[in-house]
């Protein structure tokens, strides 16, 4: 996943590994021009467009990595959504059993513990069919086949993804436009 991000950003990665001594990884990314404030403003404006259009939704976000979870909470809230976070599939099931008033469960597929995100997706589809499920993973669908099986009808958004990709995936999942996935 990290290698893909570095390549997509026009950079490169250097990996050095020595048996018994460890591994060192260096990332080389291109210098950024002064367009960051403009790009950030454009990103904020595109994310805020959801709120203006009145399409804010309640999302149960299930992500085991705390930094990724916090970043996603910020991105989703900037888009105008109401977010409830969970660190595990088991925690998410507990939240849903107390209150299943969510429009979407957005879950990582590969997570530690007895329940994977795929297990969670199957439970949500079975117990709360009105709640939509969007899955994400740093693994491609072909790689996942050896680990877990993403349930039929659940879209897999491969990491890394842009805010625009996330926004589109949420919209398509909630409107049922999954015929291409």
Per-domain residue ranges of the chain = 56-175
* Distance set, CA 180 to CA 98, 157, 177 (Å): 33, 13, 8
- pTM of the full structure: 0.69
The token pair that represents 70 in the structure block? 């916090």
Digit-coded pLDDT (tens) for 34-85? 444 444 444 444 444 444 344 689 999 999 999 889 999 999 999 999 999 9
Q: Which CATH architecture has domain 56-175?
A: 3-Layer(aba) Sandwich (3.40)
In angstroms, the first-to-last Cα distance of the chain is 20
Digit-coded pLDDT (tens) for 108-158? 998 888 899 999 999 999 999 999 999 998 776 555 556 677 888 899 998
Q: Which H/E stretch holds residue 26?
A: strand 22-28
* Rounded Cα distance, 137 and 89, in Å: 14
* Rounded Cα distance, 128 and 140, in Å: 27
Report the half-sphere exposure of 57 (CA within 13 A, side-chain side). 20
Bridge-partner residues for 86, per DSSP?
62
């Amino acid at each position: 996943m990290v290698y893909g991000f570095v390549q997509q950003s026009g950079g490169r990665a250097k990996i050095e590994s020595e048996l018994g001594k460890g591994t060192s990884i260096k990332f080389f990314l291109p210098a950024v021009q002064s367009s960051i404030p403009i790009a950030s403003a454009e990103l904020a404006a595109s994310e805020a467009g959801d709120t203006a259009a009145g399409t804010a939704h309640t999302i149960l976000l299930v992500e085991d990595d705390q930094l990724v979870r916090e970043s996603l909470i910020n991105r989703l809230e900037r888009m105008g959504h109401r977010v409830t976070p969970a660190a595990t599939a088991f925690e998410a099931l507990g939240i849903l059993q107390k209150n299943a008033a969510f429009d979407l469960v957005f879950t990582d597929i590969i997570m530690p513990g007895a329940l994977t995100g795929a297990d969670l997706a199957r439970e949500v589809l079975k117990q709360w069919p009105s709640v939509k499920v969007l899955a994400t993973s740093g693994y491609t669908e072909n790689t996942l086949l050896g680990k877990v099986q993403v349930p039929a009808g659940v879209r897999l958004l491969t990491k890394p993804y842009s805010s625009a990709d996330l926004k589109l995936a949420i919209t398509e999942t909630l409107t049922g436009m999954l015929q291409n996935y």
